[in-house]
Amino acid sequence: MNKYDLSNENLKIEGIYDFENHKTFCRYPEYVLKAQPRLYEVCKKCAGVRLRFRTDSKKIGVELHLANQCIDVGMSYVQVNTAFAFVGPYTSSKYVSMATGKEAYKDNIIRSEFSNDGMNDITVFFPQLPSVEDVFIYLEDNSSLESPTPHKIELPFVFYGSSITQQGHASAFVSYTSLLSRFFDADLYNFGASGNAQGEPEMAEYLGKINKSIFFYDYDHNAPTIEHLKNTHESFFRRFREFDPDTPVIMTSRPADDTPQTAERVEIVRATYENALQGGDKNVYFVDGRTLFGDVDPSLCTTDRTHPNALGHYMMAKSLEKLIHEEKILL
């Protein structure tokens, strides 16, 4: 089989803004990291990152070199440190294989080999917590390698939020961010930062400069106090709007949380939304996070009463999908 690396122009890394120029698996730019050094903790975790290409090779091998291995209290060791391969059109692709490591990942290399029938798009969802150093694919001799089918929606979805946004406690491909990307056939940039997204003005500026189709704004869980949320939520949004006055913004409060602070936090987020409307902003939408699991018992939707499990992420994605359709946000 022939071995290909990312120098091949048909192998596309998605989920990292400006990857083509920087060739680094880091989700944040250097100037933001310098201003907010605590984001170094999560900058190279590959939430939302995917490898995509097209091939007619009957056998396909995928190999990722990890810089480290991670543990998460809400997921199994294998689930955290595994890449997941899908075959077929992005919105209806089928899960075919998981790239794992032998001998408990002692060599920090995860691999998978799977079958393919005909010319198909291939999508590999990176593990969301380990840092990735290099990627290779293996295709049969005389097979074709092409760029992936372009997404139906030209501009990506951009997400900013907590560990939930960063795909916490669910496999990479079933997080609500990845599901929304697949529902609508759009690229995604995931700027979730577990414990660290706290309404930084530098992030507001950076995210405002990215061309996107929708901005999903949720960092309620990471605001350490109600006062912090009150002091940063609307100011972040206003800073973002200085650089992006038109993109639809969907702002949500924390999902299915029922602590004494919940109602007050919801009203802080709602106030940002209502003030935007009163100021003439017609492209802003509010979701009370307590409704994101729909009619499903919330106790079935989380691992720890905070982080959604696979069912919780799916219900969040379906709730947001419904909002986008009903409000005709993408029209």
CB 166 within 8 A of CB 193: yes
Q: Is the dihedral of CA 174, 38, 254, 169 positive or negative?
A: positive
How far is 102 from 267, CA to CA, in rounded Å? 49
| Rounded Cα distance, 84 and 173, in Å | 7
* Owner of token pair 């995604």: 188
Look up residue 125 and give its two tokens: 């969802």
Report the distance separating Cα 150 and Cα 116, nearest Å: 20
pLDDT tens, position by position, 124-154: 999 988 899 999 999 999 999 999 999 999 9
Greatest CA span in the chain, whole angstroms?
Answer: 63
What is the number of other CB atoms lying within 10 angstroms of the CB of residue 92? 9
Alpha helices in 158-282 (DSSP H): 176-184, 201-209, 226-243, 262-278
CA proximity to 218, closest of 288, 311, 280, 308? 288
Alpha-carbon gap, residue 28 to 22, rounded angstroms: 11
Phi, psi of 180, deg, nearest 5: -60, -40
* Gap between the Cα atoms of 85 and 115, Å rounded: 11
- Treating both helix axes as pointing N-terminal to C-terminal, what angle do 226-243 and 201-209 enclose, rounded to 10 degrees? 30
Q: So what's the pLDDT on residue 323?
A: 98
User: What is the rounded average pLDDT for all residues in the chain?
Assistant: 93
- Could you read off the pLDDT of 300-310 as tens digits, one per residue? 999 888 889 99
Residue 106 is predicted with a pLDDT of: 64
- Low-confidence residues of the chain: pLDDT under 70: 102-106, 257
Give me the pLDDT at residue 41, please.
84
Dihedral, CA atoms, 103, 74, 321, 257, nearest 10 degrees? -170
16 and 189 Cβ atoms separated by less than 8 Å: yes
Taking only Cα atoms into account, the Rg of the chain, rounded to an integer number of angstroms, comes to: 20
Amino acid 104: pLDDT: 46
Helix axes 262-278, 226-243, angle to 10 degrees: 30
Residue 259 confidence (pLDDT): 76
**Three-state secondary structure call for residue 210:** coil
Residue-range domains of the chain with CATH: 2-146 (2.60.120.260), 153-326 (3.40.50.1110)
Tokens of 159: 């997400």
Task: Give CA–CA dist 271/278, Å, rounded.
Answer: 10
pLDDT in tens, 18-56: 898 888 999 998 989 999 898 998 999 999 999 999 999
C-alpha distances in Å from residue 110, one per residue of 33, 54, 84: 29, 21, 11
**pTM, to two decimals:** 0.95
**Predicted local confidence at residue 128, as pLDDT:** 85
Q: How many angstroms separate the CA atoms of 313 and 50, rounded?
A: 18
d(CA 329, CA 331): 6
